[in-house]
Each structure stands twice: as structure tokens, then as C-alpha cells.
């Protein structure tokens, strides 16, 4: 083939040579030279942090890039969970922020704990097509999360109360003996910014025979319910820098600690025991409520039932604000009454089964309005042999909720009440008075069908040297506090 050279042929070849030269040099025809983007996107930050050993299952999962990126395939990031030896993909939704710099991984179902988690990235590129080169990203979600730093020099072991309020407010109350029987209540609050504790005050006197209660009152704020040394139940309100008494107080039988609960609307109920007016003997159980602490009806036990021995009284509220009071009318018969149509109605004759010697330890009511009780059962022989049982009310009778808790000795309840997903959470220590063994720590998830053991935050507690207390946070996750020596440890269930 022959080529005819003329002016047009020469011009075409010259133009083609210019275009080829420009493409190879990165310059546009007739324009300035530009730099090629050959730098891949980098990860500026990750949440959770890589190799963080304590991550909440509710922690957002996010990664921030150094520049705008685009997702090139259907699986730009995959979340894996490992509860044993195998990584299992977790269903998620992956979202990219409008500016293309933040990738969010949202699990479609709640994550489980304990488990190890990791993220593997797929094809993620910047605008110039440079691919992300990412290092491994992994973390752990334990079953129990630490709440603040250990609280040191918290006082003695006579009581420990914790309360979680709106948000993440956590307060611990403990007691210190000044000069027996003179005692003070120590109250520490957790500073969320640094996880450290601050002491509010140590001038609040309490009676040595009863443990105080500490709670967040919707009207009064941080409030202590104590029995003082003048035979009164007293509410003390924390105002700015000091404790201040609220109301007149109530006469009380100091052999029994008072109990306090609030409705969701903030109405406060207090149950306590008081001696019957002379010349009668015995004890009455009294409930007061509202801002003016007015008495709710007559004695809970009724005028015709004389309470001769009250080991514990337990107060609970259902979702409608109906108070329930559980108590023992004598040494071994459990009773439960609730406020209905202007009187204290008896809910079934007793919280017992044939042959039981039963002492009520705690009562609660689930979201469906079903009462549950935690009871101790003494079977007579050998001497100090006890069993614990969770029971619920079923129409017109009490039935066992799961198997008995086989104990060698008594349980000491730390918390028994509503928790996550409408379930009941139970935490308790088990003490063996006849053997030199540590206390056991039990935590249970309770439903209408029975209970399931949850691994406790610690397997064993020092013998006789600990007190355990519990509550739930604003979401319903249980929080436990316990003493080891003079140090208080707190853990939150990671669910």
C-alpha cells in the first residue's frame, strides 16, 4: 500500500504525535501538566479501637478514611464473630457517609457476648481508583464490662448500694464505723470523663443495725433512706454540697430494714415496720407514699394478723404503679399483699408448698404483671440445710419457676428485679457457715419458664468479707458491685 504525503497528511501525523506525547507525560493538549493520584486511602480512626479488650456490644462500629472513597463491590466490609474457634460472618448493613469518608457497619441483630469480633475489608477505592490497604481490625466483647476504676478505701463491708440513673450516672454508698455504734454513710459518684470516683460527704449518720438504701428520686434527686439512731426512718436529700433531711421521718422497728420503690411517674413508696400501739404486742407493716409521705391504708398485714417475726420486708411495683409487699407473718410463712380497691389484698394464702418452712427474701413483678419471689426453704435436717427457690404467681397459686437452687447454706440476695427484654435478673451470694470455703457468686436470667445461669463477673468471693449489691442502668442492663477488702469493684452485663 502506498501513502500519499501532502500537507493534510503531515498535519494529521503531527497532531497524533502530540496527543501520544501528552498522554504519556500526563499533560493535557494545550494545558498545564497535572500530577497523577497514586496514593491509596488511609484509615484515620476506628471505633472500636484495634485490640480493645473491653467493648460494649452496643458500641458503634465506624472507620474514618483520609479521603473520599467509593465502594466497589457488594461486600466492602464484613464483620466476623468468634465465640469458640471459628469466625462466623455477622449479618450487617454497611453505610457510607454523604462525604464518602466514614464507613459505618450496623449489625442487623444484637451482638452477643462474650465473643471476639473482627472486620475484613473488601474492594474500597478512592476517586482515582487506588485501593485501600488495611491492617487487621479486631476487638473483644466480654460478658461483663468494668464500670469505672476500682473504688479504693470505700469504708467497711457493712453495706454496699449502687444506683444507675438517667444516662450513665453511677453512685456507690458504703459505710464506715467512726466509734461503734456510730457509723457514717460514704457516698461516691463516678466521673464519666475519667472513670474516677469523687466523695460527696461523710457526715450522714446511720443506725448500725440496718443497711441504708441509696436511690435517685425523680423529685428529690440523689436520696438516702436510712434508719437513724432515734428509731426513725429518714429521707436525706443531697443538695449541692450537703445532705438535708426531707420530711418528718417515721417511727420504725429497727430490727427490719425499710424498703423503697418508685413508680415510673416518680411517686415514691416506703415500706417499714412499726410496733403496734400499746397494749397490743407484735409488729405492723406500714406503707407511706407521695411527697407528703401519707399512709397508704391501714397496716399491710391487716388488723387481725399480728406479725410476730419479720426477717425481711420486700416492696415491688408493677408497670401500673400498684405496690406489692412481701413479708413473713411468723418465722416461716411467706405472705404477699397488694394494694387493690382501697385495701391490702392477700395474693394466695402463702408463698409456700406443703412441708416448706419458707422465708421470703425478695419480690419483683415482671412487665406482664406477674409477681416473682425468691425464697429460702429450710428442710429441718441437717441443721442449717437450706435451699433457694424462685416462684411465680399463676392465676390462683404459687408455682416453682425452674429447679431449686441447691445450696449448702443461705443465699444473700444482691438484686432481684426487672432487667433486659422483660426478663428478671437475679444475683446473690451463697455462704457456707459450716465449712472454710469462699462465698459463691450466682447470677441468673429468669423467665416464666425457669432460670438460666449466667457466668458471674467473678467465680468466688472472699469468705464473709464481701457484700454484693446490684441495680440496672437506664437501658435495663444489670450492674453489680462487690467488696474485696476495702475495694469496691463494679461490672455491667454486656447485653
156-170, 214-228, 415-429: least confidently modelled range: 156-170
pLDDT band at 26 (very low <50, low <70, confident <90, very high): very low
- Phi and psi based region of residue 293 (left: phi greater than 0; alpha: psi -120 to 50; beta: remaining): left
Which string of DSSP letters, residue by residue, matches 413-468? Answer: EEEEEE-GGG-EEEEEEE--TTSS-PEEEEEEEEETTEEEEE--SSSEE-TT---E
Contact present, 271 and 317 (Cβ < 8 Å): no
Q: Is the dihedral of CA 203, 207, 209, 215 positive or negative?
A: negative
* pLDDT surpassing 50 at residue 401: yes
pLDDT band at 14 (very low <50, low <70, confident <90, very high): very low
pLDDT at 386: 67
Reported as a single tens digit per residue, the pLDDT across 43-77 is 999 999 999 999 999 999 999 999 999 998 788 99
pLDDT band at 4 (very low <50, low <70, confident <90, very high): very low
pLDDT at 300: 92
Distance CA 249, CA 242 (A): 18
* pLDDT surpassing 90 at residue 98: yes
Q: Which residue has the higher pLDDT, 204 or 352?
A: 204
pLDDT at 34: 53
110-119, 130-139, 222-231, 385-394: least confidently modelled range: 222-231
Residue tagged 444475683 (cell numbers): 427
pLDDT band at 149 (very low <50, low <70, confident <90, very high): very high
Stretch 135-163: mean pLDDT, rounded?
A: 83
pLDDT at 379: 63
Stretch 472-487: mean pLDDT, rounded?
A: 85
pLDDT band at 493 (very low <50, low <70, confident <90, very high): very high
How distant is the alpha carbon of residue 439 from its chain centre?
22
pLDDT at 453: 93
Distance CA 192, CA 142 (A): 20
Q: Which residue has the higher pLDDT, 291 or 71?
A: 71
Q: Could you tell me the end-to-end alpha-carbon distance of the chain, in angstroms, rounded to an integer?
A: 81
Distance CA 210, CA 248 (A): 19
Task: Give strand pairing partners of 243.
Answer: 238
* pLDDT surpassing 80 at residue 11: no
pLDDT at 17: 46
Dihedral angle computed from the Cα positions of residues 467, 471, 473 and 478, in that order, rounded to the nearest 10 degrees: 80
- 43-141 topology per CATH: Immunoglobulin-like (2.60.40)
Contact present, 201 and 184 (Cβ < 8 Å): no
pLDDT at 301: 87
Q: 424-430 long-range CB contacts below 8 Å, 24 or more apart?
A: 424/364, 424/366, 424/372, 425/470, 425/472, 425/478, 425/493, 426/374, 426/390, 426/451, 427/456, 427/468, 427/470, 427/478, 427/480, 428/374, 428/388, 428/468, 429/461, 429/466, 429/468
pLDDT at 48: 98
How distant is the alpha carbon of residue 142 from its chain centre?
14
Q: Which of 472, 465, 420 is nearest to 446 (CA)?
A: 420
Distance CA 43, CA 134 (A): 7
Reported as a single tens digit per residue, the pLDDT across 79-91 is 999 988 899 999 9
* pLDDT surpassing 50 at residue 113: yes
Average pLDDT, the chain: 82
21-25, 45-49, 159-163, 202-206: least confidently modelled range: 21-25
* pLDDT surpassing 80 at residue 432: no
**Is 400 in a helix, a strand, or coil?**
strand
Stretch 88-106: mean pLDDT, rounded?
A: 96
* pLDDT surpassing 70 at residue 25: no
Set of cell numbers at residue 471: 441495680
Q: Which residue has the higher pLDDT, 334 or 374?
A: 374
Q: Which residue has the higher pLDDT, 158 or 19?
A: 158
Reported as a single tens digit per residue, the pLDDT across 34-43 is 578 899 999 9
* pLDDT surpassing 80 at residue 309: no
**Could you tell me the residue ranges of all domains in the chain?**
43-141, 147-493
* pLDDT surpassing 60 at residue 269: yes
265-269, 315-319, 329-333: least confidently modelled range: 329-333
- The DSSP letter of residue 147 is -
pLDDT at 242: 87
Model-level pTM? 0.85
Mention the CATH class of domain 147-493.
mainly beta
Reported as a single tens digit per residue, the pLDDT across 335-348 is 889 999 999 998 87
Reported as a single tens digit per residue, the pLDDT across 139-148 is 999 999 999 9
Amino acid at each position: 500500500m502506498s501513502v500519499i504525503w501532502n500537507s493534510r497528511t503531515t498535519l494529521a501525523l503531527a497532531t497524533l504525535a502530540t496527543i501520544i506525547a501528552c498522554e504519556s507525560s500526563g499533560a493535557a493538549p494545550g494545558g498545564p501538566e497535572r500530577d497523577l493520584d497514586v496514593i491509596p486511602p488511609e484509615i484515620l480512626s476506628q471505633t472500636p479501637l484495634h485490640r480493645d479488650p473491653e467493648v460494649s456490644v452496643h458500641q458503634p462500629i465506624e472507620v474514618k478514611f483520609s479521603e473520599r472513597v467509593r465502594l466497589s463491590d457488594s461486600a466492602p466490609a464484613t464483620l466476623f464473630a468468634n465465640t469458640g474457634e471459628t469466625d462466623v460472618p455477622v449479618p450487617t448493613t454497611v453505610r457510607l457517609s454523604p462525604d464518602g469518608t466514614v464507613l459505618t457497619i450496623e449489625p442487623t441483630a444484637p451482638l452477643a457476648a462474650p465473643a471476639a469480633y473482627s472486620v475484613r475489608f473488601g474492594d474500597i477505592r478512592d476517586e482515582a481508583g487506588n485501593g485501600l490497604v488495611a491492617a487487621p481490625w479486631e476487638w473483644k466483647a466480654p460478658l461483663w464490662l468494668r464500670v469505672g476504676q476500682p473504688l479504693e478505701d470505700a469504708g467497711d463491708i457493712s453495706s454496699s448500694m449502687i444506683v444507675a440513673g438517667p444516662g450513665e450516672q453511677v453512685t456507690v454508698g458504703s459505710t464506715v464505723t467512726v466509734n461503734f455504734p456510730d457509723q457514717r454513710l460514704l457516698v461516691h459518684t463516678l466521673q464519666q470523663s475519667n472513670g474516677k470516683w469523687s466523695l460527696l460527704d461523710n457526715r450522714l449518720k446511720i443506725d448500725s443495725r440496718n443497711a441504708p438504701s441509696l436511690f435517685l428520686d425523680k423529685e428529690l434527686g440523689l436520696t438516702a433512706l436510712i434508719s437513724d439512731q432515734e428509731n426513725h426512718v429518714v429521707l436525706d436529700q443531697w443538695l449541692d454540697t450537703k445532705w438535708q433531711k426531707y420530711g418528718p421521718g417515721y417511727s420504725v422497728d429497727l430490727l427490719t430494714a425499710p424498703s423503697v420503690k418508685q413508680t415510673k411517674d416518680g411517686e415514691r413508696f416506703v415500706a417499714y415496720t412499726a410496733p403496734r400501739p400499746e397494749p397490743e404486742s407484735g409488729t405492723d407493716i406500714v406503707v407511706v407514699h407521695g411527697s407528703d409521705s401519707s399512709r397508704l391504708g391501714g397496716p399491710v398485714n391487716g388488723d387481725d394478723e399480728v406479725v410476730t417475726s419479720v426477717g425481711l420486708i420486700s416492696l415491688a411495683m408493677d408497670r401500673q404503679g400498684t405496690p406489692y409487699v412481701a413479708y413473713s407473718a411468723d418465722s416461716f410463712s411467706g405472705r404477699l399483699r397488694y394494694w387493690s380497691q382501697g385495701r391490702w389484698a392477700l395474693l394466695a394464702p402463702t408463698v409456700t408448698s406443703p412441708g416448706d418452712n419458707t422465708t421470703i427474701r425478695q419480690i419483683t413483678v415482671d412487665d406482664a404483671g406477674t409477681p416473682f419471689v425468691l425464697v429460702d426453704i429450710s428442710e429441718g435436717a441437717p441443721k442449717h440445710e437450706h435451699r433457694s427457690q424462685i416462684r411465680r404467681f399463676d392465676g390462683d397459686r404459687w408455682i416453682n419457676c425452674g429447679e431449686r437452687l441447691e445450696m449448702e447454706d443461705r443465699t444473700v440476695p444482691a438484686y432481684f428485679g426487672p432487667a433486659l427484654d422483660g426478663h428478671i435478673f437475679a444475683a446473690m451470694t451463697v455462704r457456707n457457715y459450716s465449712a472454710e470455703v469462699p462465698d459463691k457468686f450466682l447470677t441468673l436470667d429468669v423467665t416464666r419458664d425457669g432460670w438460666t445461669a449466667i457466668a458471674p463477673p467473678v467465680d468466688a468471693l472472699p469468705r464473709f468479707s464481701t457484700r454484693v449489691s446490684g441495680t440496672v442502668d437506664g437501658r435495663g442492663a444489670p450492674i453489680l458491685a462487690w467488696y474485696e477488702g476495702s475495694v469496691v469493684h463494679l461490672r455491667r452485663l454486656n447485653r
